[in-house]
Amino acid sequence: MNLRSVTMSAMMALMVACGGKAETQTGTSGGTPAPSAPAEAAKPAEPAAKPLELKATIDIGAAVMARDPDNTSWKGISIQAPEGAKVDPDGMMIVIDDRRSVGLGGEKDIAEKKQQAQSSSLQKFVKFIVDEPGAIFWEAEGNFLFVANVKLGEDKVKSCTNDGYGTFTKDDAQKLFDACRALKLAP
């Protein structure tokens, strides 16, 4: 190999190691300008999620009792959910997809949740869309969130929330909020 081949091979190896970008010295001595960097390939945008369609009915109680037959607190309670959603009885949530869920639980202090929504440093509060004694639905920068208490029967109150469970469009959050408020208790 001659000197020119060795030099070219070394430059190619350096360019590969540097991600294809090379700089040359420029200055008063009239150095060669740096070659232009290749245009970075445009990163493909994430495909927009299809709007949620609540076509399935999930029996929350059956899923919880399959895991723990002694836990009858959710017995007979069902909710409308997107196809493919499932109950995670360990985390007490309805998993919609790998990035979004709806949390399930007992009665929540709505006044406390309202204050938390307004003061959150992670989800900057914009405005309340629904502000009622048993439920709040609000807009945060880039997200729509809710907490809803639902009275089922004479003495049972359950809650649903998507706060902390992913990023939701207004339409998707509204559908889930409405589904939560429509939890059903079988007779």
pLDDT per residue as tens, the chain (187 positions): 443 443 444 444 434 344 444 444 444 444 444 444 444 444 444 555 688 999 999 999 999 999 999 999 999 999 999 999 999 978 799 999 999 999 999 999 999 999 999 999 999 999 999 999 999 999 999 999 999 999 998 889 999 999 999 999 999 999 999 999 999 998 8
User: Rg of the chain's alpha carbons, rounded to an integer?
Assistant: 27
108 Cβ neighbours under 8 A, 6+ residues apart: 147, 149, 159, 161
Which amino acid, 17? A
